Structure 1
Amino acid sequence: MRLGVLDVGSNTVHLLVVDARRGGHPTPMSSTKASLRLAEATDSSGKITRRGAEKLISTVDEFAKIARSSGCAEMMAFATSAVRDATNSDDVLARVRAETGVALQVLSGVDESRLTFLAVRRWYGWSAGRIINIDIGGGSLELSSGVDEEPDVALSLPLGAGRLTREWLPDDPPGRRRVNMLRDWLANELAGTGGAITAAGPADLAVATSKTFRSLARLTGAAPSGAGPRVKRTLTATGLRQLIAFISRMTASDRAELEGVSADRAPQIVAGALVAEASMKALGIETVDICPWALREGLILRKLDSEADGTALVGGAGESGTQQISVRDAGR
């Protein structure tokens, strides 16, 4: 089955086309991205602007055509924190559906965490034991822990790299004082959260997903993407601290010249590194393995599973035992 996964995130819209079957390894056929910066196209009242909505509609329409021309039997279209947090999300979603025919499904933060964990579990297998996973997006941070495919604990917090860059690091370069202020604030914010995760049990394997972590690992010496997805890549707390000291003194344009950092990600990589540092410290983790699979792959796997057993694609976590924790429950 050829499937398309359309991911509307805070920074980019990404269409992944794969050939997939239950019990098999989803094979990527093509990947198309557009930098939309939807989180920045939000006004002071929390609404996605008219211009932002129009760019979203035209991009979704274009990518839906690409999915059809690629032979996709189905396209799963979803949106995360930028749309989820917008005060006019219902109106924007209605316009997208009316003008493109695409029904964007808004994922909750907990579902993001659960589906990413599923992808990580399938990548590493049962022999990995208890896995703790960290995922840093543009708008939110997801944490999860479990021994099965359904995590025991799944959290989502509004601590994404793009969000914190806008709120805490407006200057370029950000300046040592602001970096230290954000570092201290993150340590306080994540103090209770780390306990909620580690209370589920000690991790046998600590994993990190997302473009932010892949970039950070590359900047600290991990193999480039061209080496393939199965090359082992890691990020250490020591390497991360040294990296923060280096990149926080650089401008965004200088950071964009570094290998592994795109021009789109360069402005927010410092905040992303600080979130990674704080998360690892709160969880007592010195090293994370970088997993090439994340949310999109989790959605594909859940889709294949749901067609086989008739379960819902997302939601229903409480029935399977996952401890779903909102921002208010996570010690904030």
Structure 2
Amino acid sequence: MRLGVLDVGSNTVHLLVVDAHRGGHPTPMSSSKATLRLSENTDADGNITREGADRLVGEVGDFAAIAKKSGCEELMAFATSAVRDAHNSDAVLARVQQETGVALQTLSGVDEARLTFLAVRRWYGWSAGRIVNLDIGGGSLELTSGTDEDPDQAFSLSLGAGRPTRDWLDEDPPGKRRVAVLRDWLDAELATPAKELLAAGEPDRTVGTSKTFRSLARLTGAAPSAAGPRVTRTLTADGLRQLIAFISRMTASDRAELEGVSADRSPQLVAGALVAEASMRALSIDTIEICPWALREGLILRKLDTEMDGDLVVRST
């Protein structure tokens, strides 16, 4: 069947269209995205603003139309931390459904972590042994560890690239003192979850998913996306430290000129790199392998495994 997965994140809306069948490898047919910046359209009370809701409704409606024109039999539409954590989430979701016909669902942070882990496990297979996976979004950081398809440990922390940027790095470029203080704060926030994660067992393979990790790997010498998804890409702790020293002295507009960094994500690149560095340091990780599959693929795989998950699937109209 042809499936559409609509992912509403803190920064972007992303539609992935795949041809898939149970027991098979999902084949990407098209990928479309648009800038949303919901995290920047949330007021001081934690509510998505009217402007933010207007943009969300418009983008969901547009992408639902694309999914229909692409021949999708079903559209799985979900939102992560920016919508999940908004105080007016229920009202915004109700408006989206009323005006677009799409029942946009929110995933809990732990569910997000577990579905991403499923995709990583399927990509690497059982021979990978115990996998520790790190995923940095705009609003949250997911950490998982396990030997099966469902992780033994799964954490979702409010340490995505967007929040430290807003709370700590308000100068452009960020000041050295603020970078140092943010490093210390991240170390403190990660100490307990990292200890619990490692208590489950030493990893045989450490993996990173998300656009943030892909960009950081590219900036430290990994192959470009044009080389294909099966090329091995890694991010090392040494390479990351050197990169942070470089990009933290640049303005957001200068970072946007770097290969693999978009203007939309360049303001959050330093914070994302610091979150990645702190996570690797807390887990004593020297090298991370970048996995091309993540949450969207995890949703597709879970749907194929169960044939129908009514909580996550809405038929296109």
- TM-score tier after normalising by the smaller chain length: over 0.9
TM-score normalised to structure 1 length: 0.93
1:77-226 equivalent positions in 2, closer than 5 A: 77-226=77-226
Match of 1:269 in 2: 269
Match of 1:321 in 2: none
Distance verdict in 2 for CA 1:272–1:18, change over 3 Å: same
Contact persistence 2:303–2:309 (CA under 8 A): no
Q: Alignment partner of 1:249: what SS?
A: coil
Spell out, residue by residue over 1:134-179, the C-alpha distance to the aligned partner (whole angstroms, 9 max, x if none): 0000000000000000000110000000111011101100111110
The alignment's C-alpha RMSD in Å is 1.0
Q: Alignment partner of 1:115: what SS?
A: helix
Match of 2:315 in 1: none
Spell out, residue by residue over 1:11-58, the C-alpha distance to the aligned partner (whole angstroms, 9 max, x if none): 000000000111111111111101000011001110000111011001
Taking the aligned partners of 1:89 and 1:198, their CA distance within structure 2 comes to: 34
Taking the aligned partners of 2:55 and 2:185, their CA distance within structure 1 comes to: 34
Match of 1:44 in 2: 44
Post-superposition offset of 1:193: 1.1
Matching of residue 10 in structure 1 with residue 38 in structure 2: no
Letter in structure 1 aligned against 2:171: D
Number of matched residues? Answer: 312
Letter in structure 2 aligned against 1:231: V
What is the percentage of aligned positions where both structures have the same residue?
77
Match of 1:248 in 2: 248
Spell out, residue by residue over 1:288-315, the C-alpha distance to the aligned partner (whole angstroms, 9 max, x if none): 00000000000000000111xx77767x
1:49-64 equivalent positions in 2, closer than 5 A: 49-64=49-64
Taking the aligned partners of 1:256 and 1:42, their CA distance within structure 2 comes to: 24
Spell out, residue by residue over 1:79-138, the C-alpha distance to the aligned partner (whole angstroms, 9 max, x if none): 000000100000000000000000011000000000000000000000000000000000
Match of 1:300 in 2: 300
Letter in structure 1 aligned against 2:154: A
Match of 1:320 in 2: none
Structure 1 runs of 4+ aligned residues shifted over 3 Å read 310-314
- Which runs of 5 or more structure 2 residues have no equivalent in the other structure? 313-317
- Which runs of 5 or more structure 1 residues have no equivalent in the other structure? 315-332
Taking the aligned partners of 1:122 and 1:179, their CA distance within structure 2 comes to: 37
1:277-292 equivalent positions in 2, closer than 5 A: 277-292=277-292
Taking the aligned partners of 2:94 and 2:108, their CA distance within structure 1 comes to: 18
